[in-house]
Structure 1
Amino acid sequence: MTQSLPQRKLGQHLTVSAIGYGAMGLSEFYGDIDTAKASSMLHEVIDSGVTLIDTADMYGRGANEKLIGSVLKTLPASTRAGLTIASKCGIDRNSTSGYNRNINNHPDYIRKCCDESLARLGIEQIDLYYIHRIDPNAVIEETMQTLADLVKEGKIANVGLCEVSVPVLQRACAVYPVDVVQTEYSLWTREIEDDILPVLKKSNIGLVPYSPLGRGFLTGKIQNKDELSENDFRRTNPRFQDENLEHNKRLLQALEPMTVKYNCTMGQIALAWLLAQWEHIVPIPGTKNPKYLHENNQASLLKLDAADVQTLNDLKNTINIQGERYTPEGMKGIF
């Protein structure tokens, strides 16, 4: 039986569970893949009350969307109607293997990707469709007009942009309303607080933070990158390299007293802090473990004292996180 979670409004038209689910890791990047377990995990996600499921065409080169589509077709109509499926396009992984990618926002490419995503997902309309990364060689006004046309045609319902700058967002909104912005935001990635977040609040554009647990770092469970499997991309991520990782553990030390005070996990503190930043924030942690799924969901019920929120807010003034968010290849489309 599907449970219920607190609800939040994203943008003007979407109401979803306060904690969403990032499905990427079910198909790639975080170790070995087991399709049967991944399918079971998605059913667990839906039964837990999560209503926002996030994917992209590049995750597993379409495999993630196919996985979600295979689960959606098994659901009762009433359950499916309560879900918000978000997907993305704009990162063209043009090789057959590896991490290399190009950024492509051109209209013909967006249309092609949208049609392919609809087919893989087995649905007639994508509830929330993002441009995954901003292409410096494309014209944002043309990109937005293409998305507006897809809305008019009924192929997508709501428009989102990922990792967008304030000037580009403003140009985009002049063409068609942006409902949601998705970007990395967590206790160890705070840059948006200085620029994009105030604009989102002023414009009532919803925010979906990805990697809200710092790719697992903020759970306190990763002590050494060598603990990660050989095919886990974090082994090459700059922040997980030995010297950087040891330095960044200072952040975990600051969280430890609060886990005792609230009788909860570090990850729950990290998610509760995000939820306390603004009522229209919906983080999308990902996990392949049902135990951690339910832990994450419980963070939506955790209310931190105002003083503790402020203490966490102030950590960026005393703890300087070391290491870039991605390798140079992963930073393509992020400005």
Structure 2
Amino acid sequence: MITRRQYLKLALAAGVSLAIPGGMLKAEPRRGELITRAIPSTGERVPAVGLGSSATFAQVARSEDISALREVMGAMLEHGGTIFDTAPSYGDSEQVAGTLAQELGITDRVFWATKVNVAGRNGGRVDPGAARGQLEESFFHLGTDVIDLIQVHNMGDVPTQLGLLKELKEEGRVRYIGVTTTFPHQYPGLIEVMRREPIDFIGTDYAIDNREKENDILPLAQDRGIGVLVYAPFGRTRLWERVRGHDVPEWAAEFGARSWAQFFLKFVLAHPAITAATPATSRARHMIDNMGAAYGGLPDADALKRMVAHIESL
């Protein structure tokens, strides 16, 4: 019996020549310069929009037909993105993405962001050996000796797991470390970690209808020089349901938003604390649309107020 990884390699080897269909990836013309942001702890610049691998990406990764994921990763890179955010808990996403990148020869072009958490949502103390095992699996799945960013997922036993990440950073195996959560009851703990730990990043949720972090977490990130990856910039499906049946307002073209995805993403990117947004998708055309938000202008303060008022009126 072949393993899942062996199967993926065989499937990808058979289909690698179809990996990046040029006509599809160049369908949307770029407008303006690519928006990049500096990682506060080093000044390294990264594109402001990347790709997440939860939700539909994870669902497709569990299937035998992963051609769509090959196309979506190609679309991200073709349109200037590099950040790929994943986690061992996102089903086969980490393994599939790593194998795809290796077969396509793009491993070194991707900014790999993954996570560690053997505690899960139930919390509790972590077995350091189990956490080390999970971390080594991530290196293996992604096919790289150095991972750009590893974060403690959902604040799982931060003292133990962040301690392991500090060791990996000192060894040069991880470039950046951090913590993540999208659970409101964990926000006070996140703030405490941001105040006392030497982390490079946090990962959290932020959207045009989810702005509470503008009061505390985002200003603290700026003060402490911590990068911010935004998850769920579309409120998962919440914002799509809200705008169903409504057209993007014409005035959004003033800052280059020509779709609802770009409208929502440009709102998020307008906040100076945000390093990048990583919405998940399993469709190349959605990836191209998302990357469109990383080109051209961003809304100013007056436009941001108008955007919020418009969404609240729907």
- The TM-score with structure 2 as length reference comes to 0.75
Gaps of 5+ in 2: 1-21, 27-32
- Structure 1 distance, partners of 2:265, 2:302, is 16
CA-based RMSD: 3.3
Give the superposition deviation at 1:215.
1.7
Letter paired with 2:176: N
Deviations 1:210-237 (A, max 9, x none): 011122443x4x4xxxxxxxxxxxxxxx
Of 36, 47, 51, 1:17 maps to: 47
1:102 maps to 2:102: no
Give the superposition deviation at 1:71.
2.0
Give the superposition deviation at 1:280.
3.8
Matches within 5 A, 1:1-335: 5-13=34-42, 14-24=44-54, 25-28=56-59, 34-60=65-91, 63-76=92-105, 80-90=107-117, 102-103=122-123, 106=126, 107-135=128-156, 138=157, 140-163=158-181, 165-171=187-193, 174-175=196-197, 177-218=198-239, 220=240, 222=241, 248=242, 256=249, 258-259=251-252, 264-278=258-272, 280-300=274-294, 301-313=296-308
CA contact (8 A) 2:227 2:273 kept: no
Letter paired with 2:260: M
Deviations 1:184-206 (A, max 9, x none): 11112222122211111111211
Deviations 1:126-163 (A, max 9, x none): 1100111113xx4x334332221121233322101102
Deviations 1:289-319 (A, max 9, x none): 2222111111122422431112335679x67
Give the superposition deviation at 1:287.
1.6
Q: Which runs of 4+ in 1 moved over 6 A?
A: 1-4, 29-33, 252-255
CA contact (8 A) 2:228 2:273 kept: no
- Identity in percent: 24
SS of 2:199's partner is coil
Letter paired with 1:69: G
Give the superposition deviation at 1:86.
0.3
Gaps of 5+ in 1: 94-100, 223-247, 322-335
CA contact (8 A) 2:61 2:96 kept: no
CA contact (8 A) 1:166 1:196 kept: no
CA contact (8 A) 2:53 2:84 kept: yes
Letter paired with 1:307: D
Give the superposition deviation at 1:170.
3.7
- Structure 2 distance, partners of 1:199, 1:263, is 29
CA contact (8 A) 2:86 2:113 kept: yes
Letter paired with 1:297: M
CA contact (8 A) 2:180 2:202 kept: yes
SS of 1:157's partner is strand
Give the superposition deviation at 1:123.
1.3
- The TM-score with structure 1 as length reference comes to 0.71
- Structure 2 distance, partners of 1:8, 1:120, is 28
Letter paired with 1:49: G
CA contact (8 A) 1:11 1:280 kept: no
SS of 1:19's partner is coil
- Structure 1 distance, partners of 2:102, 2:63, is 25
SS of 2:80's partner is coil
CA 1:202–1:213: 2 relative to 1, 3 Å: same
CA contact (8 A) 1:144 1:172 kept: no
CA contact (8 A) 1:272 1:304 kept: yes
Give the superposition deviation at 1:283.
0.7
